[in-house]
Structure 1
Amino acid sequence: MSDEYDVELSEEHIMLRDMVRKFADNEVAPVVDKDENDHRFQRELVNQMAELGLFGCPVPEQYGGNNMGYLAHAIATEEIGRVSGSLRVAFNMQTMGTSMSILKWGSDELKQKYIPALVSAEILGCFGITEPDSGSDTAAMATTAERDGNEYVLNGRKMWITWCPVADMAVIFAMTDKKAKHRGMSVFVMDMDSPGVSTIATKDKLGLWACPTGEIIMEDVRIPAGNRLGEEGKGFGYLMQELISTRLSAAAGAVGTCQAALDESVKYATERRQFGQSIAEFQMVQEVIARMVAETEAARALVWRCAIQKDRGLVHNMRETVLAKYYACRAADEVPNLALEVLSAYGYSNEYPIARILRDGKVYKILEGATNIMKMIIAQDALGLKKANR
């Protein structure tokens, strides 16, 4: 990473970056390939990340966080994402998609019960939005939550849910009034060991092999009415706010993927010799490296701008978050492809990490909002059809 970025970081941010980078290089990097090939979930490393305080950056101290803010969260996420895409998801499972949702809309009882345990990784979290017939079209959600006295009864199925096979709790979006469409959506905290909850693990994926993914099946699951987050029927608005948080993590992780591909390419280009000289001397290789540098640093700048705005109080910055997510996640697909051009056959083999980086980079264009949805939001804002920051 260019040291020119250091001038934009406080001493506290630099210390955090260096600490997380050291942890990632010393503890995660030596085992990442074996963990991925063995499809092994890295719970021990998640615990170590929690011990370092990485899940508490935007969380107030009263709930176990360190209140360092969103830029600190983005920096930590990038450094972990640089080494392991599978481990990067922990920042959304423990922080943005769970702790922050409960912090914004949960009762004091829910905050005290769940947030400190999530930040410390005493429990693992997940959040359920996507369904078999409901992805980008969240208003088509079929999962229902019917009020029955002091309880809600949940029925439905969620799929492509990160960490659901290992999670202890979930933030679940469901319809309390199906006829009202998006105005009938509500959100709940559900313990995964509740009667009627079952999961099915997704066994075959293109990448993120060390990241458990699966389906959540809910059959007459009863949860206390107090487990509802916020007001009934306000869930769609809460979902949009949650995505503003989780998309920042996705974008920051995508920058880490770009940096990893760039680092490997620079290292290989300076070591590999052809025609009696280092391939770094060839202008065609230099052209590819230049594009990789530009894409990585542009993506990082957009992510940091988004995070800094949030730290300054503009937490509903949908436009800037979507721009960062769109650009960084597109770059996470493109930059590893360029790395494959530099490493050629070696990049195609598992002898080097480019194949893994390339596979993992593909997912960023899908998760937390597909690329076309990001472009639609950006275009509608620019054309004045629908302002993103409302």
Structure 2
Amino acid sequence: MYGLTPDDLALQARARGFADELIAHEEYAEAHEGELPPDVAHRLEARAVELGLTATNMPVDVGGRGLSHLQQVLVQEQGGRVTNALAWCLTTPPGWWPAVANDHQRETWLIPTVEGRREECYAITEEHAGSDVSDLQATAARDGDDYVLNGVKWHVTSYNKADYVFFQAVLTTGEHAGEQALFVADKDTPGIRVVRTPAYTHTIAHHHPIVAFEDVRVPATHLIGSEDAGMSFVYEWFRYERLMIATRCLGAVERLVDEMSAFAAQRRIGLDRLADKQLVQAMLADSLTELFAARSMVYGLARSLDGQSGGLDLKVAHAQCSMAKLFCSEMAGRVADRAVQVFGGRGYMRENVAERFFRELRVERIWEGASEVQRVIIADQLGKRGRARLV
């Protein structure tokens, strides 16, 4: 089904088997603030590397797997079946980095990250600049051979797990003053500190603290690409992450459909199965239909991206990734709500997969651009390019 090759199916099966290994640890993680015992976590991380399920988006010449977009989708979809962010060990380092990394960046951060020895986080979002990153207040000023970074960043996902950070800022000096640039710095660089770590709705081990950068001095070798390229990296990251969010939503919905179908088939209401009740059947049917539509969309988009590597229209790709994220994230929210309803009181228990996904999937409509932002992007491109260029 979906025209997958034998190699695709083998990769999918390998990723599915690993996801099943992770699923076995969900309830423990839920009961322990998202954390697994260190030996278990390290074993699973090593297992992901061993199975070839990490750095799937990275080229072979830096140690990555060099997989197609469709194959990356097949891996991340299975990761989406797992709650509590346990599947975040299926790492996808920054895909834009190999083409622009200087020798220092390549050896210090890029290759060790691809190999699974280092981990990054992104300090981009600010208190008053969320989905619209064009309104950043953080600054970077050239001072001799260094840059001095200042700003306060919010929702720095995985900061506690990472050992280095990407920092997006507006330049205040030089010919590119007013433009955005991207920098990389080790977390122990003087001037970087956690302001506070808020609690979030989900129960995962990756925190999202507020982080201050106060006169953080980094050498010019820590500038990513050129001074005027910062936004291009953000846009590429958004395109990729929006597709991957859509992909992981597919996995979550598949798991929910399987779980609530199995429950409805064995749950008895008097002499009747819950699955025989027409209103429950409607919820199951709608969920399965939406999964089919969403999966067809994502697989088709991935194939399209693979087929246009030489002449990709970035604006079209941006709008299409926005459409995938919008549809899949909102669809996943609807299915999670139905799943809680089908499970009834059980669906409100934290030990139940529907309850966990009900909480965890809500953020998919917010991060990497809220649903409302996706609609603006889509409508803008429809007006500029017309329907035929987009679908």
Normalised by the length of structure 1, the TM-score is: 0.90
Specify the code of the residue in structure 2 equivalent to 1:357: F
Maintained 8 Å contact 2:319/2:378:
yes
SS at 2:72's partner residue?
helix
Q: 1:132 to 1:47 in 2, by over 3 A?
A: farther
Maintained 8 Å contact 1:99/1:118:
no
In the other structure, the counterpart of 2:25 is 31
Q: Would you tell me which structure has more helix in proportion to its own residues?
A: 1
**CA deviation map 1:13-49 (0-9, x unaligned):** 11111111111112x1111122123113454233432
CA distance in 2, matches of 1:53, 1:137: 35
CA distance in 1, matches of 2:13, 2:264: 25
Specify the code of the residue in structure 1 equivalent to 2:380: Q
Q: Is 2:94 the counterpart of 1:99?
A: yes
CA distance in 1, matches of 2:46, 2:196: 22
In the other structure, the counterpart of 1:281 is 276
CA distance in 1, matches of 2:138, 2:293: 39
CA distance in 2, matches of 1:183, 1:386: 32
Maintained 8 Å contact 1:176/1:233:
no
C-alpha displacement of 1:122: 0.6
Specify the code of the residue in structure 2 equivalent to 1:367: W
Q: Is 2:344 the counterpart of 1:349?
A: no
Mapping of 1:374-385 within 5 angstroms?
Answer: 374-384=374-384
Maintained 8 Å contact 1:165/1:201:
no
CA distance in 2, matches of 1:366, 1:65: 29
Mapping of 1:104-183 within 5 angstroms?
Answer: 104-177=99-172
SS at 2:204's partner residue?
coil
In the other structure, the counterpart of 2:45 is 46
Q: 1:54 to 1:216 in 2, by over 3 A?
A: farther
C-alpha displacement of 1:187: 0.7
Q: Is 2:63 the counterpart of 1:64?
A: yes
Name whichever of 340-349 and 307-316 sits farther off. 307-316
Maintained 8 Å contact 1:139/1:182:
no
Maintained 8 Å contact 2:26/2:84:
no
Specify the code of the residue in structure 1 equivalent to 2:328: A
In the other structure, the counterpart of 2:359 is 359
**CA deviation map 1:210-249 (0-9, x unaligned):** 3322122211111121221122122123211221111122
C-alpha displacement of 1:89: 4.4
Q: 1:203 to 1:31 in 2, by over 3 A?
A: farther
CA distance in 1, matches of 2:242, 2:177: 20
Q: Which runs of 5+ in 1 are unaligned?
A: none
Maintained 8 Å contact 2:160/2:206:
no
Q: 1:334 to 1:202 in 2, by over 3 A?
A: farther
Give the aligned length. 379
Specify the code of the residue in structure 2 equivalent to 1:63: V
Specify the code of the residue in structure 1 equivalent to 2:33: H
**RMSD, aligned CA:** 2.4
SS at 1:336's partner residue?
helix
CA distance in 2, matches of 1:336, 1:142: 37
C-alpha displacement of 1:285: 1.3
**CA deviation map 1:299-354 (0-9, x unaligned):** 22222222222222138311211111111111121110011221111111234221
Instruction: Determine which of 195, 202, 208 is the counterpart of 2:197.
Output: 202
C-alpha displacement of 1:269: 0.9
The percentage of aligned residue pairs carrying the same residue is 28
SS at 1:103's partner residue?
coil
Q: 1:315 to 1:345 in 2, by over 3 A?
A: farther
CA distance in 2, matches of 1:148, 1:182: 13
Specify the code of the residue in structure 1 equivalent to 2:281: Q
Q: Which runs of 5+ in 2 are unaligned?
A: none
Moved over 4 A (4+): 88-91, 178-183, 385-389
**CA deviation map 1:113-170 (0-9, x unaligned):** 3232212221111112101111123122111111112111111111111101221112
C-alpha displacement of 1:200: 4.6
CA distance in 1, matches of 2:29, 2:196: 17
Normalised by the length of structure 2, the TM-score is: 0.90
C-alpha displacement of 1:179: 12
Q: Is 2:320 the counterpart of 1:320?
A: yes
CA distance in 1, matches of 2:97, 2:152: 22
C-alpha displacement of 1:81: 1.4
Maintained 8 Å contact 1:64/1:115:
no
CA distance in 1, matches of 2:69, 2:189: 33
Q: Is 2:72 the counterpart of 1:73?
A: yes
Maintained 8 Å contact 1:99/1:119:
no
Q: 1:220 to 1:320 in 2, by over 3 A?
A: same
Name whichever of 35-44 and 70-79 sits farther off. 35-44
Specify the code of the residue in structure 2 equivalent to 1:226: T
C-alpha displacement of 1:101: 2.8
Q: 1:33 to 1:228 in 2, by over 3 A?
A: same
